[in-house]
């Protein structure tokens, strides 16, 4: 099993939005970074753990725990001609972009980015590195365990 930090803008899909969706599941659509796409396409597996992170907002941080609930499949938004995520080079036969489904495990008491930065056990966490803007980053199992054991409050 692997662990991930997955960023979503609350104005697009918040933890509360996820909780209100059928099956509390969302397709992780719109990723347009090759490295993040490759994580989904090549490494994510059903059952992997994910920290649902609110980004690009006044106070970014972890809002919930989720799990990967599907294998990768072509992101439908790449084919929507008038859509925000349209890619004219993508075809049904050779899609360029993929997504996985993510299902809510539980909403937690919000853990702000500033709180994550306070812990030396997380100093190597990829999402906390200067200049990192990836929407999906792998978590070391020790980071996952530390966050769930020491920072998560229901």
Q: What is the pLDDT of residues 72-99, one digit of tens each?
A: 999 999 999 999 999 999 999 999 999 9
CATH number of the domain encompassing residue 111 = 3.10.590.10
Q: Classify strands 136-139 and 3-8 as parallel, antiparallel or unpaired.
A: antiparallel
- More confident of the two residues 154 and 115: 115
Q: Classify strands 61-68 and 49-54 as parallel, antiparallel or unpaired.
A: antiparallel
Q: What is the pLDDT of residue 152?
A: 95
Q: Which of 48, 34, 42, 46 is nearest to 6 (CA)?
A: 48
Owning domain of residue 55:
3-151
- Number of residues written out for the chain: 154
Total domains present in the chain:
1
Please report how many Cα atoms fall inside a 13 Å half-sphere around the Cα of residue 146, on the Cβ side.
Answer: 16
């Amino acid at each position: 099993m692997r662990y991930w930090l997955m960023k979503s803008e609350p104005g697009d899909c918040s933890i509360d939005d996820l909780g209100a969706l059928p099956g509390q599941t969302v397709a992780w659509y719109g990723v347009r970074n090759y490295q993040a796409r490759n994580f989904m396409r090549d490494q994510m597996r059903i059952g992997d753990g994910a920290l649902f992170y609110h980004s690009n907002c006044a106070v970014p941080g972890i809002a919930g725990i989720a799990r990967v609930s599907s294998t990768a499949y072509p992101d439908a938004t790449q084919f929507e001609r008038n859509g925000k995520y349209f890619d004219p080079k993508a075809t049904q036969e050779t899609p360029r972009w993929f997504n996985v489904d993510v299902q809510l495990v539980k909403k937690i008491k919000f853990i702000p980015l500033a709180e994550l930065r306070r812990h030396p056990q997380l100093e190597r966490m990829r999402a906390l590195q200067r200049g990192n803007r990836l929407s999906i980053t792998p978590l070391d199992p020790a980071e996952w365990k530390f966050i769930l054991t020491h920072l998560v409050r229901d």
